[in-house]
Amino acid sequence: MTVIRKILPTERSLYRAHLLRLDRADRYARFTGTLSDESVARHCAGLDWSRTILIGAFLNGELRAAVELCSDRILWPNEAEFGVSVEKELQGQGIGSILIRRALTVARNRSIGRVHIQCLAENVRMRALARRFGGRATLECGEIAASFDLPPPNQFSYALEALEDGAGAFNSLLASFASGATDRVAA
């Protein structure tokens, strides 16, 4: 069962483990550059939860895909950026699309008017996703910078995020009961 929900600050180590499982090419694509294991760990340790929202896809309790939405009310008012990662075995199944759509809803509900993403020019999947969500892309030194303009929040966007948060919590509980039941049967 795949559960899509926000990642809690106490689950930082799950995010680190997910990023460390990305293969070399995907890690390069995610960070648009080479990052050592230590740098990935530093990136996760340095997450500032007051300006970062992580949404993840959990498969059998393991975090296998995530979107990281970062904003800074003082330095970058009304704007944010995100990075997204889906482990190889789960790519091409629509998970990246779901995570990006959710991140854009969350950003919109924080009154963020524009969201940016940076990706490599050869990243056809990410470019397809940027087009799909109406991103305006420009090529800069071999990298694509795409930006998404968001409308102001409304009752529907608030309700959507609330419903999805509720569904995520409920499905998480179901998944943990189901895996507990499986463990008991196996024991």
Ligand X SMILES: CC(C)(COP(=O)(O)OP(=O)(O)OC[C@H]1O[C@@H](n2cnc3c(N)ncnc32)[C@H](O)[C@@H]1OP(=O)(O)O)[C@@H](O)C(=O)NCCC(=O)NCCS
**How many residues appear in the chain?**
187
Residue 73 makes contact with ligand X by CB under 6 A: no
* Exposure of 24 in the CB half-sphere (CA atoms within 13 A): 0
CA distances from 93 to 16, 89, 142, 168, 175 (A): 22, 9, 27, 19, 20
The single-letter DSSP state of residue 116 is E
Q: Which of 91, 147, 171, 172 binds ligand X (CB under 6 A)?
A: 91
| Nearest residue to ligand X on Cβ basis | 96
Cβ 23 to ligand X shortest distance, Å: 9
Distance CA 85, CA 115 (A): 17
Give 97 or 157: the residue with its C-beta nearer to ligand X.
97
H helices present in 22-144, as ranges = 24-31, 37-45, 95-109, 124-132
- 76-86 and 114-120 strand pairing: parallel
| Helix and strand counts by DSSP (H, E) for the chain | 6, 7
Cβ 155 to ligand X shortest distance, Å: 27
Residue 95 makes contact with ligand X by CB under 6 A: yes
Which segment (5-13, 46-54, 91-99, 137-145) binds ligand X by CB under 6 A? 91-99
Cβ 117 to ligand X shortest distance, Å: 6
Q: Which of 18, 54, 58, 85 binds ligand X (CB under 6 A)?
A: 85
Site string for ligand X, 106-145 (x = CB under 6 A): -----------x-x---xxxx-xx--x-------------
Interface contacts to ligand X, rule CB under 6 A = 26, 29-30, 83-86, 91-97, 117, 119, 123-126, 128-129, 132
